[in-house]
Amino acid sequence: MTKTGSSTNPLKDQPLQGLLVLDFSQFLSGPLATLRLADLGARVIKIERPGQGDLGRTLYLSDTDINGENTLFHAINRNKESLAADLKNPRDIEKLRRLIARADVMVQNFRPGVIERLKLDYETVAQTNPRIVYGSVSGYGDAGAWRDRPGQDLLAQARSGIMWLSGDEGDPPTPFSLAIADMLTGHNLCQGILACLVRRGVTGRGGLVEVSLLESLMDFQFEVLTTYMNDGRRLPRRGTFRNAHSYLAAPYGVYDTKNGHLALAMTHLPSLGTLLGIPALTQIKDSAEGFKRRDEIKRLIAERLRGESTEHWLGILDAADIWCSEVLDWPKLLSSEAFQQLDMLQTLANGKGLEILTTRCPFRLDGRVLKSAMLAPKVGQHTDLITEEFAL
């Protein structure tokens, strides 16, 4: 097996080499799915409106840019080509239809009804290209009551119930500080597309993969929703102190130490009490007490842990094989030996001075990491080349 290193995989070794993907999507969920397909060797052509392009080009997470370039857009759309096309221009639409007829995969996340008006919906496309695998992203799937609501990450989180799982009891609904709906939906779409490609390899038939922000968030909660629905629909009670999981007992949570924070997962409370020197915990005989007295027990642990350093407690708990971890911020994570061993970063460059440091594809194939150094394209950068190649 080849050792993990900083070199990129040759294209000929990538499993999706030779597949053509047309990406009509914008922002994060659709482009994330096609990014993964590109990482795996597919050729991804991003279809963008002339001039402005993907609205994600102007969506900044912060005021950070490099040489006027949006780092977020490059992170999501690296290793793709760009074809500019005006979807209100019948001539451009006809060119796109000819291109779609030769594509393996198409992805779109237009508002409901738009793709049908353009006659680029799956039913229409599949008549001329029955082998195509068609990915469609929406905010709320077949939930007609919310069909025309904005399909945006924070709003999907708000409607999914997920905000009630974070924070302590009494806190207001707490959203995740990440675009989890978009990210999860993108990964679900990629998984569905790959499954359809496998089926096509067997039967020759493509297919339609439909994903939504809401369904992805519901699936993300399947463990706790299953508990709720089979427990008399009794709502979980968040802990009033250092809540980390509404259905898990003490000591599950994050605690202050003298110089940082320590995360403690599930563990036998009497054993933990012995290790930490908390007599009250050593007297617990019934494991149910860890839930019934969750907040009381966690306060006892918190009072003890804040008296010594993180390193002190790790020395004791690690030796006893207790599930625990130092809580790292980004600087500590990136400087850690473990992070360096992962070879998780890559530099995107255009050879003209623009360089953006970002993460790589998160999995390995045949023992090697997957990296690609190509920045996101300029709007329409490859229009002429693609038009000539496909005789559009």
198-216: pLDDT as tens digits: 999 999 999 999 999 999 9
Q: Rounded distance, CA 207 to CA 277, Å?
A: 60
Q: How many residues does the structure list for the chain?
A: 392
Q: Rounded distance, CA 326 to CA 262, Å?
A: 5
SS3 (DSSP) at 43: strand
Q: Which two tokens stand for residue 260?
A: 């940082």
Whether 83 contacts 47, CB under 8 Å: yes
Residues with catalytic roles:
182
Q: Rounded distance, CA 38 to CA 356, Å?
A: 18
Among 41-45, 163-167, 294-298, the range scoring the smallest mean pLDDT is: 163-167
Amino acid at 181: A
CA distances from 295 to 203, 236, 243, 287 (A): 56, 14, 9, 15
Q: Which two tokens stand for residue 130?
A: 């029955």
pLDDT band, very low/low/confident/very high, at 12 (cuts 50, 70, 90):
low
Whether 48 contacts 82, CB under 8 Å: yes
Whether 370 contacts 363, CB under 8 Å: yes
Q: Which residues of 257-273 are buried (b: 16+ CB within 10 A; e: fewer)?
A: beeebbbbeebebeebb
Task: Give the pLDDT of residue 4.
Answer: 39
Q: Which residues of 374-391 are buried (b: 16+ CB within 10 A; e: fewer)?
A: ebbbebbbbbeebeeebe
pTM of the model: 0.91
Q: Rounded distance, CA 137 to CA 18, Å?
A: 24
pLDDT, tens only, 255-288 = 999 999 999 999 999 999 999 999 999 999 998 9
CA distances from 113 to 59, 137, 139, 158 (A): 24, 12, 13, 24
Instruction: Work out the number of other CB atoms within 10 angstroms of the CB of residue 164.
Output: 15
pLDDT, tens only, 282-326 = 999 998 999 999 999 999 999 999 999 999 999 999 999 999 999
Residue found by looking up tokens 């008006």 in the block: 117
pLDDT, tens only, 232-247 = 998 888 899 999 998 8
Which residue intervals of the chain bear CATH 3.40.50.10540? Answer: 11-220+362-389
Q: Rounded distance, CA 189 to CA 184, Å?
A: 9
Q: How large is the average pLDDT for residues 62-88?
A: 86
CATH 2.40.37.10 assigned to domain 11-220+362-389? The reply is no
Task: Give the pLDDT of residue 131.
Answer: 98
Helix count and strand count (H, E) for the chain: 17, 15
